[in-house]
Chain A
Amino acid sequence: MSDEIKSGKQVIDEFFAEILNIEGVDKKTVEKLTSLYSEGKLTDTNIENAMGQLFQEELDTTEEKDGKD
């Protein structure tokens, strides 16, 4: 643990900078979140909408793939 005193912004920035290194996370989910944070749009409603959109995109991709064979 570093003994450097960090501001709240530093804590959040560092978290989002290292977020993809967290073992076991879904890359697309993380990318959506990072994008919302960098645009200053990290709100509950925006996260809910983004996750709903991602859910649908992934479902559609699967169904398209299933229909191809």
Chain B
Amino acid sequence: MAKIKSINISGIRGIKDPLPLNLNNRSILIFGENGSGKSSLTDAIEWYYLDGVKHLVSEETGVTKGRGSLRNLFIPESEDAFVNIQYSNNKLNATKTIDSSLRASTSNTTDNFKDYFLATQSENLILRYRDLVEFIIATPGKKLEKLQNIIGFSAVADVRGLLKKSAGRIARNIRSSNYDNQKNAQYTVVLVNLGQNAYTDDQLFAGANLLIKPLQIGKDIKSHKDIQDVLKAIETKEDTALLEQISFYTKVGENLTEIVGNIDSIHSSYKTFHTIYTELRKDPENIQRLQLLALLKEGQSVLKNDVVQDDYCPLCLQEKSKIELIKELNERIKELEELEAKKDKLEEQGQKLKDILRVNVNTIDGLLKEKLFKEEQQAGLLEKVQQIKTSLNAFSAELEKESIAKDPIQEPSKIQIDKKEISELAKQAQDKAKALTESKGSNIKFQIYTKLFHAVTAYNQYQSIKRQEEILTKQQITFQLLFADFIKKQEEALNVFLKMFSANIDEYYTTMNPNEKIEDIKLVPIKDRNDDLVGITIEYGFFNETKTPPIAYLSESHINCLGLSFFLASVKAFNKQSDFFVLDDVISSFDRPHRSRFAKLLADKFGDYQILLLTHEQGFFELVASDVKSKGWLIQDFKWSNEHGVEFEKSTTDMKERILKKFEDKDTDGLGNDIRVYTEKVMKEIANNIEARVAFRYNEINEKRMAPELLDAVHSRISKKGNRLKDKANIQKLKGMPMFIGNITSHDSEFNESIQDLAAIWKDIGNTIHTFYCDDCKKFISIKYFDNVENKIRCRCGKLAYDWKK
């Protein structure tokens, strides 16, 4: 399992100059205001692993998978953008670069890295807010597809599909070949010529012996070879032409009998096709609406891929909750998919009929190749046989018609093959063959030869057809048995997985939502009427009733919570190579208690993982920061500047060091501003700890509290709570300092104080800060450590304490 030792990114998205992040296998909490470019880090990691950035795909055309928007706009063309990752396993260290023509390459070409990289493709490394609900709101079919993909079951589904398809194809072959009909046609010829039944060799030999008896040739037929010997012995060369004619009529009789045997099946198949077709056309809008399916699916994809980020409909531009919109789309898609299933059934029925027609047309085509059809005297018969082909083709033409065509296909009663006429034609051919055979009444040898020849030929045909049917049936049964066994194995494996996976989702969800009436969350397989696995749905107990799907009953934040639980369960289940994951702004819709429980869940259940947790929410940042600092997490702020792109904001420790260095160097350049920024940061923390109230501000404005406002708030709070602290802190003195007079527009303005003045200011500020800070436990005093008995506000260790009125 690999963790990240360091990442260095350059020239990717908002990151212009190299941005080295030394993690040393530790988790990190990153804060950055909106637009600070923290998601550039996520984009860079996504590109590194997946060679594209999903949310950028919508911003460009072509097949670049978002790479077109990947490079920072301000880096020179000659410069490669890159992501370098050093891992806990240094054999995996690699740099992936992308040049200005979007050609990407990776430095590590070892098998170790290739194996690792391949394995990561089914891991869950990144979760963004926009992807939170992707699985939860997906259709059951998509849920199954997604899960099967990530657990490597897509190959299982493929094998299952192959087995099913093969069994179906062989069954269709058997059906369309209508072996019973073919056998009957041959059997009739055997019966007519042999004068008795012959299903077995012994019956054939017995019949043949009876047939040749009048010839008294002294031969007892006991084998097929004996029959051939007899035929050879009684063959008369001068009657070849007559024999050809008899064979011709025999074949016509056989083939037409076969076709007659298929006519009922053609008619009934067409009738079924017509019924489904008519049902579909009953409501013409149905078919029209079906054409919307692709559009709706595209819309679904647009919403899921977050092309539209706000709550409005991308088509009509009206305001609408995105989740509501996806829900409605899912319902419409489901309805249309049911309609599409009917259309598929129509196509399946059409295919079945096409198969039967094809076999019969082939039979006619084979017959039409008979050379006697070229003789003038056969013109009438030729025309009738061609007419049969035309009738068969008429059905095929109906099947080709579009279901949305203006004119419907023909009624079954209007398109018929004249069975009676073909039967008569077959009978006439058989009678003709018989008459020709008997035309040489005096030549008994000729008659016996002809009858034996045709009986044996038909018998062999009969056996061959029987054998073909047996072989195909054997194959079909085998595929059916394999399919049934495979389904059993697949379902067993899937159920074991779903059980474990569901238990994890349930655990994470209920940890974040304790004491709520949602319990026993499960992923449940869905089967269709043929018992085929077609999807997965999410079930859960809600006030002791089983409910599904979640989108119908849960609020947006609960759905997000479920999405987060799904991701975390996926991490546990599938991340076998990478011991880290990235969470990019995933808690936006959570209230404070949920955020707190989420932070605890990460710390308690994912303590072994390296987490890169990004947020733009100061409150969440502070909440998590206080919990995870002691667990060895790194804390980092991002900011963005025109000059450097994304860069790290100095922490208060770094800033303090910088200030001290400037004093040492007697460098006043920007020193006043540094002191102001440092004081603002510390005052924010003090104000937060003592619950000093400031006026309400929206979002990021809240994060840009100026020092005067913070100083006022802290002063006001401690004035009410205890004189000792108020006097010692002497906030009023700080308020008169030049860098704290002004407003947000004075940020970054120049201060012209001398180094001595600044040193005096710095000393006073230090004294004030020290009033709140304990050197022993390195903590500020806080309401968190309030002593209820003594009525004192304390630091964590209790060495620094002040009276604090309740």
Contacts and interface: CB of A to CB of B under 8 A. Distances in A.
Interface of A: 1-12, 14-15, 19, 22-26, 29-30, 33, 42-44, 47-48, 51, 54-55, 58-59, 62-63, 66-67, 69
Interface of B: 148, 151-156, 159, 162, 165-166, 169-170, 223-225, 460, 463-464, 467-468, 471-472, 474-475, 477-479, 481-482, 485-486, 489-490, 492-493, 495-497, 500, 573
B156 A29 contact: no
B475 A51 contact: yes
B482 A3 contact: no
Given A8-B152, A44-B165, A59-B471, 7 more contacts: A5-B500, A22-B485, A24-B478, A24-B481, A29-B475, A30-B482, A55-B471
Nearest to A3: B496
25 contacts: A1-B495, A2-B492, A2-B496, A5-B493, A5-B500, A6-B497, A8-B151, A11-B493, A12-B156, A12-B159, A15-B485, A22-B482, A24-B478, A26-B474, A42-B159, A42-B162, A44-B166, A47-B162, A48-B169, A55-B472, A58-B467, A58-B471, A59-B464, A59-B471, A66-B460
A58 to B, nearest CB: 5
A29 B470 CA distance: 13
A48 B166 contact: yes
Nearest to B228: A67
A62 B120 CA distance: 53
B485 A30 contact: no
Given A3-B496, A5-B497, A24-B477, A11 B489 contact: yes
A8 B148 CA distance: 8
Nearest to B460: A66
A67 B474 contact: no
A39 B694 CA distance: 72
Contacts of B460: 66
A4 B496 CA distance: 7
Nearest to A47: B166
Nearest to B148: A8
Contacts of A1: 492, 495-496
Contact of B153 (A8, A23, A48, A69): A8
Contacts of B165: 44
A26 B475 contact: yes
B468 to A, nearest CB: 6
B153 A11 contact: yes
Given A15-B486, A25-B481, A47-B166, A8 B155 contact: yes
B585 to A, nearest CB: 32
Contacts of B479: 29
Given A7-B152, A42-B159, A69-B225, A14 B478 contact: no
A5 B468 CA distance: 43
A69 B224 contact: yes
Contact of A26 (B148, B467, B478, B485): B478
A14 B489 contact: yes
B351 to A, nearest CB: 15
B478 A25 contact: yes
A48 B165 CA distance: 10
- Closest 6 interchain pairs by CB? A8-B152, A8-B153, A29-B478, A26-B478, A8-B156, A25-B478
B208 to A, nearest CB: 14
B468 A25 contact: no
A2 B478 CA distance: 26
Nearest to B477: A24
Given A2-B496, A26-B478, A69-B225, A15 B159 contact: yes
A11 B464 CA distance: 39
Contacts of B500: 5
A26 B477 contact: yes
A59 B471 CA distance: 8
A33 to B, nearest CB: 7
